[in-house]
Amino acid sequence: MTGDLAQRQPIILDCDPGHDDALAILLAAAAPSLELLAITTVAGNQTLEKTTLNARRICTVAGIHGVPIAAGADRPLAHEVRVAAEIHGESGLDGPAFGEPQVPLDARQAADLISELSRSVDGLVLVATGPLTNVATVLARDPGLAGRLRRLVLMGGAIGIGNTTPAAEFNIATDAEAARAVFESGLPITMVPLEATHHALATPEVLARIAAIGTPLAAMTVDLLAFFATTYRNVFGFDSPPVHDPCAVAWVIDETQAEFSYGRTVCDVYGVTGRPPNAEVATAVAAERFWDLMIDALASYAGEPSDPPYAAQELG
């Protein structure tokens, strides 16, 4: 899919694939209004080794070539990583059976690649859908980044209840030190919290629309979401899983388009702290519009039902 290159919004996607990160990659690479310049990976949903392998796997099945994939931080700034195998499985992308990735790993460090691109590309938007460790790392090494990026759009945080502790959402809770550094950096930030992403549910009707696309990529996506649905039902009691991360990408498209408080994002909705606002906060997702964007993106990938490299599995 091609949009007018001059008009397309250049983005970098920093992620921890992760089922919903996989959809964020697929949406970002296909959206005609975006130009995905790079994918950087971070430890979060699984170890760095696994999240990086998963990014390569998704790009292989989708035929996304020419987008450098660079690995970043293998642990949060101040403590060990705690992965989310109970949600994303041991591989970080359980459900589909993947072959060997054909898309290579770029030799550059994530932070170096982000810094390098921010110097050569005007109006760059950084989309972060994992812990903010890479973003904090590049800001510490290159503080000028805050003035060069157009905006950071992050999936993370919560206005109210968290999903990792009662007070904290996973991406922020995994590395609250990094999140503090990022929110205090002066970067223009849009935060897409759980209150927004919980509107983007992969319902059985959505899975049927995706399956009807009929390509190997669509079949892989259905297998991903079927697994994600089982873990979200078992852990959180959701009937259908919320696909958090592509909501951050969709926002860009539509904008082109303590002991118990560690990791809490405090949204001073009424300005009672007297502190200047440091982020815009999305509070909802237009679910029908979101799924139209996501399914159009999935349908845009070439491929016939007979094409390798992905063979659909019998859904249990």
Instruction: Specify whether the CB–CB gap between 46 and 86 falls below 8 A.
Output: no
Query: Binding ligand RIB by CB under 6 A: which of 153, 155, 200, 294?
Result: 155
Pick the closer one to ligand RIB by CB: 216 or 245: 245
Under rule CB under 6 A, residue 245 binds ligand RIB = yes
Active site residues per annotation? 244
> Among 21, 35, 112, 169, which residue interacts with Ca ion (rule: CB under 5 A)?
21
Of 10, 12, 14, 18, the residue at the interface with Ca ion (CB under 5 A) is 18
Query: Looking at 244, 265, 297, 298, which residue binds ligand RIB (CB under 6 A)?
Result: 244
What's the rounded Cα separation, in Å, for the pair 280 and 190?
Answer: 5
Q: Evaluate the CA torsion angle 29, 74, 52, 263 in order and state its sign.
A: negative
Residues 6+ apart with CB under 8 A from 269: 159
Nearest one of 190, 156, 136 to 45, comparing CA atoms: 156
Decide if residue 129 touches Ca ion (CB under 5 A).
yes
Contact between 21 and ligand RIB by CB under 6 A: the answer reads yes
Q: Using CB atoms within 10 A of its CB, is residue 205 exposed (0-12), middle (13-18) or buried (19+)?
A: exposed
Does 129 engage in binding with ligand RIB (CB under 6 A)? yes
Assess 45 for contact with ligand RIB (CB under 6 A): yes
Regarding 130 and contact with Ca ion (CB under 5 A), the answer is yes
Contact by Cβ (8 Å): 269, 159: yes
* Residue 195 interacts with, from ligand RIB, Ca ion, none (CB under 5-8 Å by kind): none
Tell me which of Ca ion, ligand RIB, none is bound by residue 163, counting a contact when its beta carbon lies within the kind-specific cut-off of 5 to 8 angstroms: ligand RIB
- The answer to whether 301 contacts ligand RIB (rule: CB under 6 A) is no
Q: How far is CA 271 from CA 172, 189, 196, 268, 278, in A?
A: 22, 17, 21, 5, 11
Footprint of Ca ion on this chain (CB under 5 A)? 16, 18, 21, 129-130, 245
